[in-house]
Amino acid sequence: MSNGTITGAGNPGRTIDTVRAGLDRRYRAERRFRIYGLSAIVLGLLFVSILFITIIGNGYPAFQQTYVKLDIDFDPESLGIGDQRSNAALSGANYQALVRNALKVRFPDVTGRSDRRALNSLISSGASYQLRDAVLDDPTIIGTRRSVWVPADDDVDQLVKGHMDRAAAEGDRRLKDNQLAWLDQLQADGAIEKRFNTTFFTAGDSREPELAGIRGALMGSVFTLIVTLALSFPIGVATAVYLEEFAPRNRWTDLIEVNINNLAAVPSIVFGLLGLAVFINFFGLPRSAPLVGGLVLTLMTLPTIIIASRAALKSVPPSIRDAALGVGASRVQAVTHHILPLAMPGMLTGAIIGMAQALGESAPLLMIGMVAFIVDVPGGFTDPSTVLPVQIYLWADSPERGFVERTSAAIMVLLGFLIVMNALAVLLRKRFERRW
């Protein structure tokens, strides 16, 4: 009964023969499909590794900073304070003079105003702040003489890190021949050293690369995200629970649903404009504050969290709901005792995606003034501050060579922040995860 039993037109022979003839093609198609998938992954990984290699390659020198050892004479006369030892007098003293004197002693044969100025410019202006802090910490060192490691200027830093070409013509170099000679002398004495750059993690922004730190932006991001999380998670979850578990299905809820989905696609800068108009101009909240930033980012994150939370609620099997209602739980009890705990991992995932989005957002924050140059590390929700992505943008825009590596280093800090947040989310999810 082989020939012609099941065959239709143009399909003679047994079915098994037809299938066999097509098998090769089928296997080829499968192999091809697998190769497409594999190459997509390889390509993706390649780009990610290029990204990481460039960022880390550019950024790791920023974690080191060149210091110069100077013999500082804490002479009250040079400080211009005489016998005064009050805090006000000590804060206002002339520490720049101490640095200049130390250099003068170190290089006695440098005379002439312009040479002196060239010599002094090798040391960062941050050196005087460091000396001031040391004196304020322990005023008894006034009148003594000690060796102090002070930060070098960023040009020196770049030279030591090998980013400056000594062979270039003098006019094309930021450091001139005489400066190079002095530095070589210092180097020969072992008075130049690269150290771990603590300033980068403790200071706020600065115009001088060697004094600029990420701390201000980091704290700004932390405060902003706290506001965002504290507002968007409860509001988002409450909205999702209401829409999914309690709201009747009618035209109004349909309209709300469509609007929430549309809000998720609104360009973030629009939320920034809204925040500027509503929170700052109408409610009079302070500009550049993490509070306002958090509010704006809350608006931006809410749709993400609501959509993810609703999906998580939908994925809870209805049998659990029935079981709870069946033993006489009220709707609220069924939701809080059974459905919410089961949906929590999904909701947390949504929240973390929203938070990661918020952490990386800069456009809406530009509109509410978080792009300002702010030197102080913010201490609260209403202090002016900036955030990590805006700081990256600001540094990427700065001309000094020292900011190139700091930009990459800031990106590394931002990525680290993200990884910590994601790890936390995975941990939380593991804790809440239940099988059924």
Partner 1 sequence: MDTVSVENEVIMADDGIVKPVAGGRATIDRDNRETVGDVTAKNPRMRCREVSVFYGEKQAIHDVSLDVGSNEVIALIGPSGCGKSTFLRCLNRMNDTIDGCRVIGDISLDGDSIFDTKMDVVQLRAQVGMVFQKPNPFPKSIFENVAYGPRIHGLTRDKTELEAVVHTSLDRAGLLDEVKDRLGEPGTGLSGGQQQRLCIARAIAVNPEVILMDEPCSALDPIATARIEELIDELREQYAIAIVTHSMQQAARVSQRTAYFHLGDLIEIGETNQVFTNPHHQLTEDYITGRFG
Query: What CA–CA distance (Å, rounded) separates 296 from 390?
Result: 15
Site string for partner 1, 263-282 (x = CB under 8 A): --------------------
Q: Residue 326 CB, nearest distance to partner 1 (Å)?
A: 4
User: Which uninterrupted H or E stretch holds 109?
Assistant: none
Stretch that binds partner 1, among 33-41, 169-177, 329-337, 364-372 (CB under 8 A): 329-337
Query: For partner 1, which residue of 45, 319, 379, 427 counts as binding (CB under 8 A)?
Result: 319
For the CB of residue 344, give the shortest distance to partner 1 in the complex, in Å.
12
Q: Counting contacts by CB under 8 A, is residue 181 touching partner 1?
A: no
Nearer to partner 1, 171 or 318 (CB): 318
Structural contact between residues 258 and 275, judged by C-beta atoms closer than 8 angstroms: no
Q: Does 10 bind partner 1 (CB under 8 A)?
A: no
Mark 237-266 with x for binding to partner 1 (rule: CB under 8 A) and - for no binding.
Answer: -----------xx-----------------
The smaller minimum CB distance to partner 1, of residues 241 and 299, is found at 241
Query: How near is the Cβ of 334 to partner 1 at its closest, in Å?
Result: 9
The candidate with the shortest Cα–Cα distance to 402, out of 218, 161, 100, is: 161
Contact pattern from residue 333 through residue 352 relative to partner 1, giving x for each residue in contact according to CB under 8 A and a dash for the rest: x---xx---x----------
Indicate the SS3 state at residue 6. coil
Q: For residue 172, count other CB atoms closer than 10 A to its CB.
A: 7
Choose one: 148-156, 219-227, 268-276, 428-436; the region binding partner 1 (CB under 8 A): 428-436
**Distance between CA atoms of 209 and 211, rounded to whole angstroms?**
5
Nearer to partner 1, 108 or 248 (CB): 248
Query: For partner 1, how many residues bind (rule: CB under 8 A)?
Result: 22
171/248 with CB nearer partner 1 = 248
Give dist(CA 352, CA 429) in Å, integer. 11
Smallest gap from Cβ 316 to partner 1, in A, equals 10
Counting contacts by CB under 8 A, is residue 327 touching partner 1?
Answer: yes
Residue 56 has which token pair? 């880390």
191 lies in the site for partner 1, by CB under 8 A: no
Residue 310 sits in the site that holds partner 1 (CB under 8 A): no
Examine residue 37 and tell whether it contacts partner 1 (CB under 8 A). no
Distance CA 375, CA 394 (A): 13
Burial class of 197 by CB neighbour count within 10 A (0 to 12, 13 to 18, 19+)? buried
Q: How far is the CB of 323 from partner 1 (least distance, A)?
A: 4
Interacting residues of 189 by C-beta distance below 8 A, sequence separation 6+: none
Measured CA to CA in angstroms, residue 223 lies from 228, 293, 363 at distances of 9, 9, 18
Of the candidate residues 267, 326, 379, 416, the single one contacting partner 1 (CB under 8 A): 326
Closest approach of partner 1 to the CB of residue 313, in Å: 14
SS3 of residue 396 by DSSP: helix
Nearer to partner 1, 195 or 337 (CB): 337
Give the contacts of 257 (CB within 8 A, at least 6 positions apart).
243
Tokens of 155: 């040009």
Binding part of the chain for partner 1, among 49-57, 117-125, 319-327, 406-414 by CB under 8 A, reads: 319-327
Q: Per CB under 8 A, does 317 bind partner 1?
A: yes
Q: How far is the CB of 435 from partner 1 (least distance, A)?
A: 6
Q: Which stretch binds partner 1 (CB under 8 A): 70-78, 161-169, 179-187, 324-332?
A: 324-332
Instruction: Kindly give the interhelix angle for 290-314 and 251-263, rounded to the nearest 10 degrees.
Output: 130
Q: Which of 155, 161, 195, 163 is nearest to 179 (CA)?
A: 155
Binding partner 1 (rule: CB under 8 A), the pick from 320, 371, 372, 375 is 320
The correct pick among 322, 380, 416, 424 for binding partner 1 (CB under 8 A) is: 322
Select from 100, 132, 215, 321 the one that contacts partner 1 (CB under 8 A). 321
Please list the helix, strand and coil fractions of the chain in percent, rounded to the nearest 5, in that order: 65, 5, 30
Other CB atoms within a 10 A radius of the CB of residue 280 amount to 20
Dihedral (C-alpha) 251, 256, 260, 266: value to the nearest 10 degrees? 90
Q: Does 430 bind partner 1 (CB under 8 A)?
A: no
Q: What are the backbone dihedrals phi and psi of residue 62, each rounded to the nearest 5 degrees, phi first?
A: -65, -20
Q: CA–CA distance from 336 to each of 142, 231, 413, 427 (Å)?
A: 66, 20, 38, 22
Pure H helices in 107-214: 113-120, 126-137, 154-160, 177-188, 199-202
- Provide the binding-site residues for partner 1, judged by CB under 8 A: 248-249, 317, 319-330, 333, 337-338, 342, 434-436
